[in-house]
Amino acid sequence: MPKFSLFPHAAMVLLASALTAAPFYAHAEEGDNSSSVRSTVPNAQLQKELAILQFKPEAASPACIDSLKELHKTQAQLQEEQTRTEDQDLAIAQDVLESDFENSIELCSPDVRQLCESPNPAKALAQACERLGSVPDGPASSSAAD
């Protein structure tokens, strides 16, 4: 179908740019130590999901791609806001960005799980899938289960 011929390419570009742009989020709240932990967990989780989708970008659903577009839009707005001012709009933009990360994780998860459950995955894909569940969710991490 010619209509979707650019979709895998567009998905790959979006996934690649998400991987390079995502670290920006981890530094958005450097001054606040308690929110730093809160912000790096979604960032790490999304980066792991996107690393899996890199193996087969066309597996990313339109909902996943749209959520990543929204995430990039919010990242750009936050970056612009940071260069202009240090007011409360910045805190609001950071909250919106965190919400966008969580939405992207939720919307891309089914695509990631489907790839991870595929029979006979490549070794690198299998390793990326194993790392998926290893994001610590707080001080008491239980990544050894499973």
Task: Summarize the confidence of residues 31-54 as an average pLDDT.
Answer: 73
| Mean pLDDT, rounded, for 56-78 | 91
DSSP assignment string, 72-131:
HHHHHHHHHHHHH--SHHHHHHHHHHHHHHHHHHHHHHHHHHHHHTSSS--HHHHHHHHH
Of 8 and 84, the one with more pLDDT:
84
Tens-place pLDDT, residues 14-34: 555 554 444 444 444 444 444
118 touches 55 (CB < 8 A) = no
At 53, give phi and psi (nearest 5°). Answer: -65, -20
Q: What is the pLDDT of residues 88-146, one digit of tens each?
A: 677 788 888 899 999 999 999 999 999 999 998 899 999 999 988 764 444 443 444 43
Q: What is the mean pLDDT of the chain?
A: 73
